[in-house]
Structure 1
Amino acid sequence: MDILIRSFLWVFHASITASIAALLIILISKLFDKHISIRLQHALWIIVVIKLIIPIEFQSNLSLFNLLHERQNNSSNIENRNTVKNITYAAADFLREGKAQQKHTAKNQISQGAQSKKENAREYIITNAWKIASCIWIGGFFIAVAFLLVVKYKFKGKNSNLEEVKDLEIVKLFNKCKNEAKINKYIPVYTCDNFESPCILGIVKPKIYIPRYIISENNFKQLYHILLHELVHYKRRDLIYNFLAVFAVILHWFNPIIWFCMKRMKLQRECVCDAYVLEIIGEEQAEEYGMTLINFSKLMSINKRPQLVAFFETKNQIRGRIKMIKKFKKGSYKMSVVAVLCCVLASGAVLTTSVSAKGMKLDNAAAVTSSNGLSIKSENNKFLIDAPVKVYDNLKKAEEITGFKIKVPDYLPANYEVWRGFKVVKVSDKDNYLKVYLRDKQEGGLFSFQASKVNLEECLSHGAENVIKMYQSQTSDTTKDSKNGKIQISKEKINLSGINGTSITVKIIDPELPRFADVRKYFVWQNDGMYYGIEYNYGIQVDGEIPKDSVIPQSEVEKIISSLKYIKDIKNVNYSVQTEVSPKVEALSIYDKEDLKRAKEFLGFDFKFPLSINKDITIDSSGVAPSEDSDIKNGKINYQLNTRYNAKAEQVLFTQEKSSKSYDYTKKTVKPINIGDKEVFKQETYKKSKTNEQLKEYIYTWKEDGFYCKLSTAESNGNPDKIAKEFINSKLIN
């Protein structure tokens, strides 16, 4: 087991480091495709293959992974990079130190008798995890080897009666091809019915196989191209490269990046072979050679034997080869001195390991592995706008943001639908809960459904406090205490439809109107470790009496709570959001980068999205909504982006839209000024503050490339021209 674990750790380390190198090669190839020859690109892939299959490593300051290691040390807050670094380098160290390190670890455990049970349990789990992973890996390796052996056995059985080509004209043509390729070795050519594509097989004793239908066509020009192509594969030692690539895939079968890269290497190998053939036959025959590929690609299906170096591949690969043939110029196959130096440098960067890795310990890998189960909640820093209540139009996205698996009702009363999206309500920095309003689209009745990982009573109390804050924001006296009897919560254990739960009543008293109270009743229960709740009764209590028309019948509540299912299993309820099209209702709220992409689809242009202007002006909320000039009745909707910023006194509103209607009207009535490099139209107006005071407000309108902007800011926020200039100079999203 010791040897197995060490072997797997080496493979795991090689797989990760080679994957990084491969992805960099792909990036470089994309960026400098016109400047890097196809032969050099294939040579770089050979270096990756060597990295995958040869266990020997040398430490070097030239190593690519040394550079990555230094970067990670300087950026310790980037958790994902550290994870890769620690695991891969720890694996390398384990291989170097072997059992000696295990003994050292054992001594440390003896000397540290006060080590906690939690730490011991963690190490036990990690050790066993490596053992299990090693067994799975070696099992997959032997299955892949067995599969290839079966393929080879069947191949021999099907082709035991092959006929060697004896036709004098074909033999003469083949000898001509050998002379042009400068090959002296005896290589027989066989014809058969079991092959769909020409190919060459056998590293020690190579043989060329040609389908019988190709021979029977007597098209010697095409046959010349085919035979020369297969001989060039032998000349270039492509059979060896192919074998090494197949072995690398078998060894690293668990890594999809390696599969992708070896497939890409195979395509480039064919392109390099084509280039060599064109170098021999001349640039003037490139068109005829390309037609050979096209004609035969129409006649044959795809050959999927993994060990073959085939003349024809998939349609996409044929397309890539034709593209290379069209661009071919005489001499382009040759490797320049610069290209050779690039290969040498790439070998030094990829095949060596980091000097810095020497000091890493295996227990670092354990620590990383044990903390690798990141929940979605730990990714809160991904939010551009971390609003206390986030509204989504997609239930799966809302579930993803909450960070836990959610069940929802598979039954709703007749005519009920989701109303205005799925709300993810933030209770603390770590916890939030899902809230969904469900509305009777005919009668207008409304109730809500909640799901939470923490006790829902805390969530309901949090929601009640938010209502109190709303009351206070609507009064002139903001100094009143919001906790003096304004929230009253009572509980009662009940059983509905065989489900034990709690009836919770939350009473919110308006401090301005003590006779009136906002009363909400919930049934809260647990299911698979989660808390769920239904707000089945709500209304305004006047002197202790709640209107009866706000009650959902108990029979309906019982059906709802009995129908909970995970989202993927829902069959009877449509949880798509019917968006209300109105300038007052946002079609999309923006919280993260994914939302920015969707906003661009709505708007049709790249827009500005500064997260802050200065320490006093920071983003509060943003959303896409229909603009006021939309013809909603006739379905002609123009969208605009409304972004609000918190400031010293009053919020700053920044609007961007494609429609020029507002800009054109302003341009006719206001004289322009210059701010930055823009012609800006500045207006002064007045508005009422929250305390009914008159506030001077400035509105700036200007034109960008393909869209129009409007900015509103109060005088009390600071120098308005300076604020406007910051928005004007802000960059577009990319």
Structure 2
Amino acid sequence: MPEDIGTIADSTQLTHILMHELIHYKRKDLWFNSLWILSIGLHWYNPFVWLSLRKMKVDQEVACDSSVLEALGEHEARSYGMTLLMLSRLFSRQFSPLINLSHFGDGKHEAKRRIMMIAKFKKDSYKLSAAAILFVLVLSSILLTNATDARKGTESAVAAQATNLGLDLYPIYNDSFRWFHSLGRALDFPKYAFKVPDYLPEGYRFENVLYYRNFTRPNDADLIDVASITFVANFGQKNEQTIEIKASKGNGNLLEHNQLRGAHFQRANETPKYRQEAVTISDVKGILFTDKRRYKQRPETGKSFYWQDGGVSYAIDYYSEHMSQDELAKMVQSFVFPQQVQHVRYDGEGNSFPLYDEEDLLAAKNVLGFKVKIPLELYGLQLSGSIMLRAGDQNTGYAFRQATDALWTTYSAPNDSSSYDINDTLLLYQSKDPLFNASELSLTRKLELGGVEITAYEDNNHVYFPSGTEVNFPYYLWKQDDVYYTAVFSGIDKQKYQEDSLNAIISTSGQ
């Protein structure tokens, strides 16, 4: 195990990681992987072999997650999910080394699907799924493709779903987790009253707001409800710096839930790897936590100032190398309720934002200047998320940085789908100007659906979406009613399934 992981993770997270890896060992996954590597060497020219390998690895992770959760029990499901999130954040950082934990740290999309499974976990509910996964692995090794059942549904059913805006436009998020591009939009979702800083050190600007709930004990005994605000300097650069403000209420606290940058919670029999001291900053009495751990990839010193005010616990997470004590004092002194802010901008102007309901949909249409297509279902694939991508935003770190505003909707296979693999995904982009440069893609074919000419490409050089395998996702580009559309399919390799989804999109009316 890499030294940095042992330093960053606490004892509970290390237990989760080791259990996950031991399940891989018990299942003999590494031995099976070596056979797959051999098949790749023999059939490197066959794209189905590469696709099968990618899907096999995802299925391995889901099976291991379910086995670990069966051993841990439902009360540890949330904690295990937080470990997965911690590793995902770590691997996504530019300073992180290339770490191989038998694929424990997966891509963002795969991690999202695994976390959804963890959130819905009930003991004994995944034993059949694990057996089914094993069956699929054996079948895949023989056929080198994925068997799927005939799909159900009609275009009229899709059209009916498309006009129903009563459902959430970002269904994978709920009251347990949401993110917002502006403080005003966050306040539209009821929560306890909390204060925010009206002073920021030079160079910092508001990035986003996160709402989330966390608990580690049965029956939500230590549940905390957290509002986290991130401020960023040098966004997107190697020297990017962040300050996080957290407000929380509940039976637990931020220290016990490992939510403080300056202190990683230790169990009773462990020696704390942080220093805490009672201090008074700008007439506010609190505790200053200082992380005593050191590791090569993060030389800065993590600190957290923690205090209580009006029944709400607050924390300022920062690195001492990035903010002086004088700046900390000014920030602490400036805390006011959102309606009283005068000096810090929280409007998120020009930043990307998620679509949760009709209000966000209207805002997106005002930005784009045209009616958008946002069906809730596309032939068995369900809408899982919608984001209004703003060109040049300062609050998202997606690998694809588009040059024009675009609506990005994601469609995923439901967990109980008999027609799609768990990792099958459709990405749909809509914009006023071309989003992708066709000259940088490789033409594969042309087709016509519903009187609309569509051109299919592959991103052989991975210009837009870097890939860890040689599988090239098909890109379908077309123009309809002066709007440019791009559909990218991941895992959905049958052209009939792709064309059915495309036809449904084309036939859907804008709204």
TM-score (norm 1): 0.35
Identify the structure with the greater helix proportion: 1
Normalised TM-score (structure 2): 0.49
Q: Which has the higher contact order (CA 8 A, sep 6+)?
A: 2
